[in-house]
Structure 1
Amino acid sequence: MTSYISHTTVDCADAFTLSRWWQGVLDWAEDPDDPNEPGHEECLISSRDGRHKVLFIEVPDVKQGKNRIHFDLRPAEGTRDEELARLLALGATEVGDLRKPDGGGWVILADPEGNEFCILRSEEEQAAWSPVAAQDA
């Protein structure tokens, strides 16, 4: 017997607003038969194929420290730095920059409620990087 992850839950102060923000980041959708609305204390969004879900639940507690679990995002198209610019324009905040001179690394961001997440290089950038090329540089 095994288990599987039904969905990931994010505690927050404003479920509707945060779910809408993440919808824009991920290009995910809500259930048309149960749409998220202002004032809802629970708001669910899903990947377009329905395989992945994130549930935002309002809680009275304020965020107190670093997240113990977080999302690592990879751009679906374009580069890490282009996606970084897009996310900052959407309202993310840069928390830490761990990019390396060879192009590796990532950037730590926070969503509008302070939940940390990382932006990695795109698959194309990752595939183009070669340890041999990095040694020759």
Structure 2
Amino acid sequence: MTSYVSHTTVDCIDAYALSRWWQAVLDYREDPDDPNEPGHEECMIFSADGGHRLLFIEVPDGKRGKNRLHLDLRPVTGTRDEELARLTGLGATVVADRRNANGTGWVVLADPEGNEFCILRGEAELARPVP
């Protein structure tokens, strides 16, 4: 017997607002038969192919300490730095810059509620040799 990951759950203060923010970051969708609305305590979003789901659940306490689990995002098109500019424009904050002079590394960001995630090099950047 085995299990599979049904969805990834994010505890938050405002499920609707955070689900909308992540929807913009990931270009995810909501279920048209069960749309997310302001005031909903649980809001789910799906990848375009339905293969990954994020569920945002409201909890009474705010985030404390470092995440024990986080998402690593890789730009499909464009570069890590272009994606970094886009995400900070959406309201993400830089927590730690782990980029290296040779182009490797990542940037640790936080969403509007302080949940950390990382931006890795883009697909095209991976194809280039590291100096």
Separation in 2, partners of 1:129, 1:51 = 31
Whether 1:117 and 2:117 are equivalent positions in the alignment is: yes
| The structure with more radius of gyration | 1
Identity of aligned residues (%): 73
Q: Which residue of 2 aligns with 1:8?
A: 8
Q: For residue 121 of structure 1, report the CA deviation from its aligned partner.
A: 0.3
Q: For residue 66 of structure 1, report the CA deviation from its aligned partner.
A: 0.3
SS at structure 2 position matched to 1:4 = coil
Matches within 5 A, 1:7-86: 7-86=7-86
Q: Which residue of 2 aligns with 1:90?
A: 90
Deviations for 1:29-72, whole angstroms, at most 9, x for unmatched residues?
00000000000000000000001000000000111100000000
Separation in 2, partners of 1:41, 1:102 = 44
Separation in 2, partners of 1:43, 1:50 = 15
Q: What's the TM-score, normalizing by structure 1? A: 0.94
Separation in 1, partners of 2:123, 2:2 = 30
SS at structure 2 position matched to 1:55 = strand
| Root mean square deviation, CA, Å | 0.6
Q: What's the TM-score, normalizing by structure 2? A: 0.98
Q: For residue 124 of structure 1, report the CA deviation from its aligned partner.
A: 1.2
Separation in 2, partners of 1:104, 1:23 = 27
Runs (4+) of structure 1 exceeding 3 A deviation are none
Q: For residue 129 of structure 1, report the CA deviation from its aligned partner.
A: 2.5
Q: Which residue of 2 aligns with 1:99?
A: 99
SS at structure 1 position matched to 2:54 = strand
Q: For residue 79 of structure 1, report the CA deviation from its aligned partner.
A: 0.4
Structure 2: 5+ residue runs without aligned partners? none
Q: For residue 21 of structure 1, report the CA deviation from its aligned partner.
A: 0.1
